[in-house]
Structure 1
Amino acid sequence: MNENKLAELIDRHEIHQVLLRYARGLDRLDNELARSCYWDDAIEDHGHFVGTPDAFVTWADGTTLMFEATQHAVLNHVCDLQGGDAYCETYYHFSGVAAEGPHFMSTGRYVDHLQKRGGEWRIANRVTLVEGTYDVPRAEIAPHPSTAYKPEAPCQASRDRNDVSYHRPPVPRRP
């Protein structure tokens, strides 16, 4: 493999990691992680919100806290690399678990301009296109998220840095 192709693959991987960190940051209420995905001069155009990365993270945090749990799934991803600029389209699926239901689901796309500055990729500008929103009824047989595991269980989901995904190594329950 030639060095140019290897450099391109590394850039693509690093760009994808930015998108995954963004989703994790929002779902774990890790504002520092979510904010690290943006350049300071970026603009986020996100449905009812248009503004700076700092203002967006504050807004998103308040929106996310309306739910007991959230998941931002990053799906299909295409990326046009042009030197230190990348133009990407990434499909997403968002699920929010409401205390009483119905739950909320949203689908759409992130249309991003990322830039590589000082050897690091971050979002320079983003337009979030919401293409569908859905109310989802609570299933009769599904356990409530807060009772799926005993509170003392180490694998219970947590919306902060106490979540098992931050543990190195992760600690499974014992039989």
Structure 2
Amino acid sequence: MENSYSLQRMADRMQIQDVMYRWCRAVDRLDFDGIRLVFHPDGIDRHGPFNGNVDGLIDWIRNRHAKIPFSMHQISNILIEFASQDIAIVETYVRTVQRYPADAKANLAQLSGGAAGSDGRGADLFTCSRYIDKFERRNGEWRIAERNLVQDWKQIVDIPDNAPVPQDGWLKGARDGSDPLFRLRAEAGL
């Protein structure tokens, strides 16, 4: 049996883990090129209300997230099992927090099975889910060939009137190329 912790397999594990981190950044910053790069071109995604190819996934995220000002995917418990030299089954736990303004209730209901919080109020969605992915190494690069989102738990919390907000002069996250991360990356030549 192959050594799952040889130097090569450790490098494979780190590359797969990096793909998962890049997915989180790409979806949270609405970096559609970044989303495309974590999947093989013929990759598929089963995300609950969306099931289809990468181009369809990007269009779905672009439309669904258009009114969502904040999204954060946090991953943990990445279990990688190698089925062969170039195929791995990867289970990754993911917690997601997303803010939905009152005018984005339809976007929230789409992912929550119809629930959307109180009428006329914005809401935060909290989830505990798992990505069950088939990774393939092609041309020396690990990417997702098949993604399955398993939705284990969700909670919707109405945004209170006294919710904290960043003050003028504070760095604020953005879901596009104006996020402070991209300025630092550009300054560093990345």
Q: So what's the TM-score if we normalise by structure 1?
A: 0.85
**Kept in 2: contact 1:27–1:64 (CA 8 A):** no
Find the counterpart in structure 2 of residue 32 from structure 1. Answer: 33
Find the counterpart in structure 1 of residue 117 from structure 2. Answer: none
In the superposition, relative to structure 1, how do residues 47 and 10 fare at CA in structure 2: closer, same or farther (>3 Å)? same
Matches of 2:48 and 2:100 in 1, distance apart? 20
The structural deviation recorded for 1:65 is 2.1
Partner of 1:168, secondary structure, is helix
Which sections of structure 1, spanning at least 5 residues, go unmatched? none
Which sections of structure 2, spanning at least 5 residues, go unmatched? 102-120
Partner of 2:177, secondary structure, is coil
Q: Indicate which of 76, 95, 98 corresponds to 1:96.
A: 98
The structural deviation recorded for 1:127 is 0.8
The structural deviation recorded for 1:91 is 0.7
**Equivalences for residues 4-19 of structure 1 within 5 A:** 5-19=6-20
Flag as ranges the 4+ runs of structure 1 deviating above 6 A: none
The structural deviation recorded for 1:51 is 0.3
Matches of 1:83 and 1:20 in 2, distance apart? 22
Matches of 2:27 and 2:21 in 1, distance apart? 10
Q: Indicate which of 112, 121, 129 corresponds to 2:142.
A: 121
Q: Indicate which of 105, 109, 113 corresponds to 2:126.
A: 105
Matches of 2:67 and 2:6 in 1, distance apart? 44
Once the two structures are superposed, what CA deviation does each residue of 1:113-145 show, in whole Å capped at 9, x if it has no partner? Answer: 00111111100001111111210232555323x
Give the AA of the match of 1:84: D
In the superposition, relative to structure 1, how do residues 165 and 87 fare at CA in structure 2: closer, same or farther (>3 Å)? same
In the superposition, relative to structure 1, how do residues 156 and 35 fare at CA in structure 2: closer, same or farther (>3 Å)? same
**Kept in 2: contact 1:89–1:109 (CA 8 A):** yes
Identity of paired residues, percent? 27
**Equivalences for residues 12-161 of structure 1 within 5 A:** 12-81=13-82, 82-99=84-101, 100-139=121-160, 141-144=162-165, 148-150=166-168, 153=170, 155-161=171-177
Once the two structures are superposed, what CA deviation does each residue of 1:18-53 show, in whole Å capped at 9, x if it has no partner? Answer: 111111111101100011111111111110111001
- CA RMSD, 1 decimal: 2.1
**Kept in 2: contact 1:26–1:61 (CA 8 A):** no
Matches of 1:138 and 1:170 in 2, distance apart? 35
The structural deviation recorded for 1:158 is 1.1
Partner of 2:14, secondary structure, is helix
Alignment: residue pair count: 164
Matches of 2:16 and 2:149 in 1, distance apart? 17
The structural deviation recorded for 1:8 is 1.0
Give the AA of the match of 1:110: Y
**Kept in 2: contact 1:37–1:123 (CA 8 A):** yes
